[in-house]
Structure 1
Amino acid sequence: MKVTQADLLHVAVRPDQYPTNRLPELALAGRSNVGKSSFINKMLNRKGLARISGRPGKTQTLNFYGVNERLYFVDVPGYGYAKVSKSERAKWGTMIEQYLAEREMLKAVLLLIDMRHPPTADDKLMYQWLKQIEIPVILVATKADKIPKGKWQKHLATIKRDLQKDENDELLHFSSETGVGKEDVWKAILQRMV
């Protein structure tokens, strides 16, 4: 998809702050240091749109990025790394859970997994929970540029095995550095929007 317009349009912590124009939404979930901001910037062709922080766990709200007045990317707080209090983490958990479980316009979750490492316990829990609440999942293995191309299939096989991947869910490799996989991710997104 050719992105001609992309902006951060809504920041929400409660349902009454969500957009009301009923455009399809795709949530981006993953560990705090998986590269969600870099993914957003590369997919939307906007270098500094999503702020990249040296300190993982910066996203503490649901950030709605409008794309071509056609859909939203919704960046949810990362899990598993952020140095925040237990009460703050519980608050995020409730906010994320409410959005993912109840949002009618949510078409799919792009679950980002660091391709260099086997999925973490948190990655597995998130995937299982998304399957349990029957939300379509597109698995995106990030940081492909950090692994020699000849080893991609081995790393993808590990992710597939460790997550016990549903055969209906796509597993795509991606690099925010080189853009490899970008077209395939857009193709998967557009298929979920119908």
Structure 2
Amino acid sequence: MIIRSAELESVTVRPDQWPKTRLPEFAFLGRSNVGKSTLLNRLLNRKQLARVSSQPGKTRQINFYLVNGSFRFVDLPGYGYAAVSKQERERFAVMIDRYLNQRDCLRRIFHLIDIRHEPTKDDVAVHTALLELGVPVSVVATKADKIGKSHIPKHVKVIRETLRTPVDIWPVSAEKRTGLEALWAVMEGDLAEAGASSAPGESSDPAISFTSADPEKRET
């Protein structure tokens, strides 16, 4: 994918603030400090389009990035950061709920999991809910450069078994820029399918809630 343009289009906390034009969207969701902002910057070949912070829990709204004027990346707030107040966690959960259940131009959800650690109870609860949405889901196993290459298959197996997921798991290192091509190949396929299909109507799937995941302390 050649990135001709990428810009922060909207910073939102309510559905009425979402972009009005219905372009294909790819949502990125994961625990706080999973490497989401760094991954977005690498995919878009930008240094600081998505703000990177060493302090987890910095994304506190839904950020829409317009790419090539034809599709969007959607950066959802991180979950599972215990230092955030209960009220804030509930607010994040409501924002995520609304977006995932109401946005009919959503083409795929990338669920980010730190490859170094077994998925947490939050990860499992969120992933189970994602699979019920009827939207394609892919798991991105981030920070693959932090473990030996020979250990990657074992860690991927742990993620798959813990999440009990049938979906693809893509080991990625944003720092080393490895695995990005595979993610782009998936998105290019989704974009081609979106271009060939008619405009989708409202989903008949039941609303799925993400408010039940218990917050846990951040892993390091």
TM range (shorter): over 0.9
Equivalent position of 2:87 in the other structure: 87
Report the secondary structure of 1:122's partner residue. Answer: helix
Match in the other structure for 1:156: 156
User: Which residue of 1 is the match for residue 110 of structure 2?
Assistant: 110
Q: 1:70 deviation in Å?
A: 1.5
RMSD: 1.0
The equivalences for 1:13-32 within 5 A come to 13-32=13-32
Provide the residue aligned with 1:182 in structure 2.
Answer: 180
Q: Is the 8 A contact 1:110 1:138 kept in 2?
A: yes
1:127-183 alpha-carbon deviations (Å, 9 max, x no partner): 1001122221011000011111111111111111111112xx221110011110000
How far does residue 82 in structure 1 lie from its aligned partner after superposition?
5.2
Deviates more, 1:25-34 or 1:87-96: 87-96
SS of 1:172's partner is strand
What stretches of structure 1 of length at least 5 have no aligned partner? none
| Aligned with 2:189 (options 147, 172, 191) | 191
SS in 2 for 1:41: helix
Q: 1:132 to 1:12 in 2, by over 3 A?
A: same
* SS of structure 1 residue aligned to 2:174: coil
C-alpha distance in structure 2 between counterparts of 1:146 and 1:4, whole Å:
31
Looking at structure 2, the residues matched to 26 and 121 of structure 1 have their Cα atoms a distance apart, in angstroms, of 24
Q: C-alpha deviations, 1:55-89, integer Å up to 9, x for none?
A: 10011100001111121110000001152211111
- Find the aligned partners of 1:103 and 1:22 in 2 and give their Cα distance: 9
Tell me if the contact between 1:63 and 1:74 (Cα under 8 Å) persists in the aligned partners.
Answer: yes
Q: Percent identity?
A: 47
After TM superposition, the score normalised by the length of structure 1 is: 0.96
Q: Name 2:205's counterpart in structure 1.
A: none
More moved, 117-126 vs 83-92? 83-92
- Distance in 1 separating the partners of 2:172 and 2:82: 23
Runs of at least 4 residues of structure 1 off by over 3 A?
none
Unaligned runs of 5+ in 2: 194-220
Residue 192 (structure 1) shift: 2.2
Show CA shifts across 1:94-123 (max 9, x none). 111010011111111000000111111111
Q: Note if contact 1:57-1:82 (Cα within 8 Å) is conserved in structure 2.
A: no
Aligned-partner residue type, residue 169 of structure 2 = L
Partner of 2:65: 65
Larger Rg: 2
Partner in structure 1 of residue 127 of structure 2: 127
* Cα separation, 2, equivalents of 1:113 and 1:30: 6
Contact 1:118 1:158 (C-alpha < 8 Å) held by counterparts: yes
